[in-house]
Structure 1
Amino acid sequence: MSSVELTNDSIESEYEALISFMYLSPVGLVRTDPGGKIDMLNPMATQLLMPLVKSIGLENLFETLASVAPELRNLVTSFREPCGSICVNHRIHVSSAADGGIVLACTIVKVNDEVLITVLTDISCQVATERRLRQTDSWLDAIYTIVNDFAVLGLTEQGVINSWSPSAERLTGYTESEAIGETLGRFYSLSALEVDVLKEQLTFAREEGWHSRDYSCQHKSGHNFFAQTMIAVLRDEDDKFSGYTVVFRDITERKVSSDNLANLLTKDHLTGAINRAHFFNLAEKEFARASRYEHSISIIMLDADHFKHVNDSWGHPIGDEVLKSIAKIAEGVLRPGDTIARFGGEEFVVMLPKSNSLEASVIAERLRSSIEASSVDAGGEEIRITVSIGCASMSQSRSTLKELLISADSALYHAKSKGRNCVVDIDDC
């Protein structure tokens, strides 16, 4: 075979490869002369251009696109370079959003003075997404700058504030320079025992995608307000976790109304301690938290000593005063994270989160001695009050609320059998 034949075979092979590439390409490819006359196009280009084809047929690219992109012919004629890109990803809006929102990206390359290659790509979905993002940006911008009772901020992966907004400054009183680098704890009114709720909120948000919770907050000026906080997870283009977006909402007025209703549903009407039903609701959540973070929980059961004698001797109204006095003293002794509930009659139960056996015994003794030092006025006569207390702490053999309550009740029985007005830990029985 001669070298000429080899050369011809090579050219033919390259030409076939080019034709194959054009016809299999996922984008529209059109070859024209500088005036737009088409001499080659692939099936995808035909598909993209057919909605624009008039009665003259698909012969000239610029004429076909004249109704939606008349500027293309001018772009070509004004391009003076011998070769190069005339336009790159020039957007052609074939139809409006109301009519389907078809948008093409057009790139025209001048190969030489005789040949132009045009690449057409359908970017309708991309443009629709951009439109939605612009709408979202407008919505967020309104929250950032206009709405008074909302605040939006951003957190790093570690929960540190990295973006602030004018609405956040209005709601909290803190400027951007004062807020950046802080945590949400800067605004929450939390006790030392409640610090972990910040970590919990971020953990729940990561696991569920978002998490919402109400908090008591403090404005920079010192006044308190209630805020509903929603934390949503942010992800980057590769769907990797990259931080959080936080939306604060002032719900003070709603909170006051809902708290009034909640008090009716969750608190004992006589003593102000929470009722038995609500205690079990709270305890279920606290045990889930303890299990997640491997914290201990202790339960104290206490019973007013000789309460029947009080009722029989001074009447039920004085007995009611005794119960109210016990609850009030307990509230003064217990820590902010502790919970006291009226379990029934003259019996109360106290839940002590993050407390081991020793810590529970110390709190129980402080509670017993404080009640012993108090009295109730019974028409000029001072009635001395004492209580018997049983304690139990979470362990391998007492890992459920039911087991802990049974153990604390058993310890209370031993305290009564020892003569009352004392504290007994179930581990010492």
Structure 2
Amino acid sequence: MTQATSRVAARRSHGEDARIFAARVNHILINSPPALAANAVVAVLLAAFLWDEAPRGPFLSWLSALLGVMAARAFFLLRDTRIGVTERNAPAICRRQFNGLLTTGLLWAAAAWLFFPHVSHVHQTFLVLIMGGMMAGALAVNAVLLRLFLAFSLPIVASLPLYVAASPSGEQPFMAAMLAIYWLLLLSVALKLRRNTSESFRLRFENLELIADLREQRRREQELNSELSHEIEERTHMERELRRSEAKFRGLTENSPVAVFIIQNGRFAYANKAVSKLTGHSENELHGMALADVLHPEDAPRVLERIEKRLASGGEEDPVERRVIRKDGRVVWVQTVGKVVEHGDTPATLGTAVDVTASKEAEDRLRHMATTDDLTGLANRRHFMDIFKREFSRARRYGRQLCLLVIDADHFKAINDTHGHDAGDKALQKLAELARDNLRDVDLLGRLGGEEFTALLPDTSGDEGIMAAERLRALAESTDIDIGGKTIRVTLSMGVGCLRESDATPDELMKRVDDSLYEAKKRGRNRVMPSS
């Protein structure tokens, strides 16, 4: 896991991971064919619509040029799809996509100059709507690489304002302004999509590397256990052939780096140096010590029961993970394999143990990453919704009360714009801390995204939920948040709702509370609004 993290950090120090860039290009390549087909279809429909309005010669030239560019782009798209995107060829494919989109955007921009002076207001409006639709389609496909979206949309959005500036008349300035505002909205969406997809691609590759390293480590551990099991069997055979020579067995295992032990009547009959190192007890202390004394209290009964069953049935135990308490009190995870042997003419368990604490900690970290919001430490959206659905079903089944809060930080965008995103992150962390410290341990807090939080309060009435929300709102309003030499205050708007008999699904309760939140914002923010 440490090696994978180091590799990711090394790539970041040299700019964007080439694999992420290739994944972006591949995403665009996969989604381009429908957009390309739609572009051609729209051009043909536009031709039919303006056939009697626009000058025939320029119109046919423009349509021929656009369809020719579409055909060229389709050819390169099919070729690149057949070859496939790699880290090496991704920049070249991206350049081809950029040139094709730029040429297409310029041709659509030319439509404004060629046809606007010659068509009616209805046809002008239709042409503007077509251009808007083309830009929206480009956003859906190319938002993961902002330069491609800009290559297509900038010529279009610039063409109509430039034409209006040259010859303003009628409703054309209004249409130009609306097209520009629409483009700015698309650009803001594109920026947000790009950030989200960047994080998604990055986390995907980091998690794949971590999982691959973890699997490789587990594979090596399993191979080691398999080899050790085979070795133990051979050694047992040698002991029988050499009249069960314990001295021979000690000679083979004493200096083994793997923990090797014999358990007889629930106590250590033999333990090598590796067992001593693993448990922190000396070899003399281990001799005769009860196995239960080094096992975690929760694991000991199951382990002793398995040993008794194996002694009764014979055979070999599959690898099992269990906890060991060292002499210094530290808990370590071990993977053990056991086999029934004869020791001093009495059945015993011969076992090996390998420290797998690092693997278990890696699994815990991955589990934490999958359920926790990195910034605030609260439950992430997916984990919160899973628990919310489970608690909703339990409350309906047993007739219990359940209260839901949806919380939104007021004017949070202004904090980011004025003080920067680091200050915004600190504000979110402080709000999460306030909520965590002022709600019960049984309550579940989650971050749905951005500045929106939610809290699930089991066994809570509507009045109690409103009181808890009002208490949190007042606390946030009066709390100074240090953002690096400056202090700010953040107010909260909240929607509160409790489970009703009419709520058939969690979504119905969530929607009611969401509606209450929006009502609180409408009424001036910094308030708690119960659901109607």
Higher strand share: 1
User: TM-score scaled by structure 1?
Assistant: 0.42
Higher helix share: 2
User: TM-score scaled by structure 2?
Assistant: 0.34
Higher CA-based Rg: 1
